[in-house]
Amino acid sequence: MPAMRRLRWLWVLVVCAWVVLAAGCAPRERARADGRVEIVYWEKWTGFEGDAMRAVVDAFNRRQDRIWVEFLTVSQVDQKFLLSTAGGNPPDLAGLWSANTSVYADLGAIQPLDQYCAEAGITPEQFIPSMIGEMIHRGHIWALPTAPASLALHYNKALFRQAGLDPERPPRTIEELDAMAERLTRRDERGQIDVAGFLPSDPGWWNFAWGQWFGATLWDGDSQLTITSPENVRAFEWVQSYARKYGAKDLQSFQSGFGNFSSPQNSFLAGKVAMQLQGVWLHNFVDKYQPGLEYGVAPFPYPADRPDLAGHTFVDVDNIVIPTGARHPREAFEFIRFLATPEGAELLANGQGKFSPLRAVTPGFYQQHKHPYLQLFVDLSYGPSTFGQPKLQIWRELSAEMGNAFTKIWLDEQPARAALEEVQARMQPKLERELRAKRRKGQLP
Amino acid sequence: MSRQEKQRLVLGLAFVSPWLVGLAVFQIYPIIASLYFSLCDYSVLETPTFIGLANYADLLGDEVFWQALYNTLFYAAFALPLGLVVSFATALLLNTGVRFMAVYRTIYFLPSLVPAVASALIWLWLLNGKYGVINEGLLHLGIEGPGWLSEPAWTKPSLILMSLWGVGHAVVIYLAGLQDVPKQLYEAAELDGAGWWGKLWHVTIPLMSPVILFNLIMGLIGSLQMFALPYIMMPGGQPARSAYFYAVYLYDNALPYLKMGYASAMAWILFLLTLGLTLLALRLARGRVYYEGG
């Protein structure tokens, strides 16, 4: 009967459609023709920084024939990592930020590397203490550092000279910084700011951290946030003193004319801001957009009454982790292990214009590096008073709150102390909730 | 049902089964799950722990939640009526039958085709307080323009202004409606001595009322879900959270802050709010909207 036959064919079609759909949902496990184990590596960096990591991957793939690392650049990698891990289909390796380390460790999203490190003979002592410190949490190593960074004051020597300042004598104390900033600030004939000596709001990436430069912390490491400590209040009152001295509105208008960071209109490269807190990476952008720029680097100043803080810095470091549920953790660690050798680490460091997180470097590494002030950043990162971001799950929210308080202080809408008190009142209960949850999970005594 | 009818029914269902399964897996399940998660402490990575209505109770005491809600309602209160009037007026102009009408219609529709990210980046420059074209233009009129994106008082007005950029879709819907207004009604009105205004008020608007209601409701839903422009242009709703929108705070809770349960509760509140306002609009429209043949 033709009608029956047609029906049968239709059924075949339906089944085929389902088979195709189901096949599309199957876990990806590609067998490689050369028999190597393929591991998938998600990395946040694009551009030249991504190229540098790709070069490390290529070198690793060339030097052995057992493992193949498939390198993928992934935007918003922390969030995609989170969802893929929760969904049970994570990559084998992921390049995240240091602030993710403790959070993902506490949530069980990444694997401790202690065992692998022990087998490979990798110990924390082989790394710069402040860098490996960001990777250690609750006594375990959860990630290894890849490209480290520390911050320092960058200053424009030509603008120093024009203001009658000695270009070889950058400010050492906050008080000197303020005085020099005043001399460096210039206004045009309409009275509008043309060059700013220094702006606490520029580039605005560490607005939460001003207290630390004055010896404060944000958290006592135990049960209390310390947002309203005298050091924090002092620091943010200092921030506000700039808004009051130069006029919050004038500064707003001046800053809104700044171009993108990665462009020749970058405020520091364009000579709009004479002194700026920046990281070791800035030299890459000087090199690319303003190669003639005459600039110097010095440790960020400390308050004159706190000489113990001299040579302090904020450290941040990229990391590499193995997610929970990775299919080939052992092979994935082989790549991490390569990154923890001077060869791998320096290939990355040279490509990204940063330094190596390892204590040991190959002879001539610092001398041959393209960054003229690299040694300063390395020395700072070894310093006794380095600081990073608190290892707390509420950190993202806390830093957003601090950023919001900073804006209100910078716009002179609220006294510094009141703005900080609001953050403390809002976030302290959230800290307590986090600590309770951690105690419940047995992560805290 | 005969045997053959049954067979056809089963086959029909089998053919739509991919869609049915998709609906169940990607729509119905997430909706139900989010209702459950809204009653849980859920970090995405760990199993959810049931905490009852605690998320909802926390939201009531969360100033940022209220600030985000206020910002969103403020935006909707201005952008929605303004958008309705501007898109309706534009549609009327584009319906006058002058030469090259198709060209004008295309031009007015074009901006709605620009992706949100691209238009956000363009607006960042147009609204720049120092070098922006808009302030440059104002300066020629003798007005010193504000810092559109840097002064808390101006961020919401900026977004309201930008919302007019995307009226193209509503204009097209109005245009379609305008084609349907019977010519003879205009002729009859003219015979009765109605002028341009009389015809607009007594013929066009009553006959267009269902279309206006439709655009009102779609606009309401769209403005309560405002996300892309503030998310890209004013990270964290800065300055001073003046541009922190409901959907942006929801997203921040869901992923960056790892509080999916809290975000789910926010999503359900937004749903109830949207539902309530839509029902209110429908109720207010009763007796004021004319459905031809209805």
Is A143 a member of any domain? yes
Task: Tell me the per-residue pLDDT of A124-139, one tens digit each, with 9 for 90 and over.
Answer: 999 999 999 999 999 9
Query: What is the rounded average pLDDT of the residues B239-247?
Result: 94
**CATH code of the domain containing A270:** 3.40.190.10
Structure-model confidence comparison of residues A155 and B195, the more confident one: A155
pLDDT, position B92: 93
pLDDT exceeds cutoff 80 at A24:
no
Name the closest residue on chain B to residue A427, using Cα atoms: B62
Range of the domain at A410: 150-314+390-438
A94 part of a folded domain: yes
Contacts of A247 (CB under 8 A, 6+ apart): none
Residue of A nearest to B258 (CA): A393
Q: What pLDDT, on a 0 to 100 scale, did the predictor assign at position A334?
A: 97
**In chain B, domain spans:** 62-285
Residue among B190, B244, B265 nearest B64 (CA):
B244
Nearest Cβ partner for B11 among A10, A253, A255:
A10
Residues A94 and A188 in one domain: no
Q: Say which residue the tokens 């549920």 belong to.
A: A325
Strands A193-198 and A273-279: parallel
User: A219-244 burial, b if ≥16 CB within 10 A, otherwise e?
Assistant: beeeeebbbbbebbbbbbbbbbebbe
Each residue's pLDDT tens digit, A397-415: 999 999 999 999 999 999 9
Q: How many CA atoms lie within 13 A of B189 on its CB side?
A: 17
A139 and A57 in a common domain: yes
Chain-chain contact of B255 with A7 (C-beta, under 8 angstroms): no
Q: A–B: how many Cβ contacts below 8 A?
A: 82
pLDDT tens, position by position, B112-153? 898 888 999 999 989 988 888 999 999 999 888 888 988 899
| Distance to chain B for A14, nearest Cα, Å | 6
**Same domain for A288 and A417?**
yes
A128 assigned to some structural domain: yes
C-alpha torsion A175→A179→A181→A184, nearest 10: -160
The pLDDT value given to residue A2: 66
β-pair type (A140-141, A136-137): antiparallel
pLDDT exceeds 80 at position A380: yes
Domain count, chain A: 2
Report the residue of A25, A100, A404, A443 to disrupt the B interface, i.e. the one with the largest count of B CBs within 10 Å.
A404
Distance CA B117, CA B112 (A): 12
* Same domain flag for A175 and A292: yes
Contact (Cβ atoms closer than 8 angstroms) between residue A41 and residue A73: no
The distance of Cα B55 from the centroid of its chain, to the nearest Å, equals: 26
B67/A contact by beta carbon, under 8 A? no
* ipTM of the complex, rounded to two decimals: 0.90
**Residue A380 resides in a domain:** yes
Shared domain for A245 and A292, answered yes or no, is: yes
A184-195 residue pLDDT tens: 999 999 889 999
Residues of B in contact with A249 (CB under 8 A): 147
pLDDT confidence of residue A21: 80
Cβ neighbours of B136 (radius 10 Å): 13
Judge if A84 and A138 occupy the same domain.
Answer: yes
**Domain-embedded: residue A16:** no
Question: What's the whole-number mean pLDDT along residues B228-233?
Answer: 93
Q: Where are the beta strands (DSSP E) in A98-198?
A: 136-137, 140-141, 144-156, 186-187, 193-198
- Exposed/middle/buried for residue A428 (C-beta within 10 Å: 0-12, 13-18, 19+): middle
CATH fold, domain B62-285, is MetI-like fold (1.10.3720)
Number of residues that this document lists for chain B: 294
In this prediction, residue A151 carries a pLDDT of: 97
- Contact of B152 with chain A, judged by CB distance below 8 Å, is answered with yes
Residues A95 and A228 in one domain: no
Q: Which residues of A touch B (CB under 8 A)?
A: 7, 10-11, 14, 17-18, 21, 79, 82-83, 85-86, 103-104, 107-109, 249, 252-257, 393-394, 396-397, 400, 403-404, 407-408, 411, 413, 426, 437
Interface contact flag, A108 B129, Cβ < 8 Å: no
Residue A173 and residue A138 share a domain: no
Are residues A218 and A97 part of one domain? no
Per the CB < 8 A criterion, the answer to whether A378 and A395 are in contact is no
* pLDDT higher than 60, residue A102: yes
Residues of chain A neighbouring B152 (CB-CB closer than 8 A): 411, 413
A307 & A380 share domain: no
The answer to whether residues A165 and A141 belong to one domain is no
Place A4 in a pLDDT band, splitting at 50, 70 and 90. low
Instruction: Compute the distance between CA of residue A432 and CA of residue A225 in angstroms, rounded to an integer.
Output: 10
- Residue A445 is predicted with a pLDDT of 87
Of the partner residues B151, B236, B255, the one whose CB lies closest to the CB of residue A400? B236
Which residues of chain B are within 8 Å of residue A21 when distances are taken between CB atoms? Answer: 18
pLDDT at residue number B28: 96
What residues of B are in contact with residue A10 (Cβ under 8 Å)?
11, 15
* Residues of chain B above pLDDT 70, percent: 99
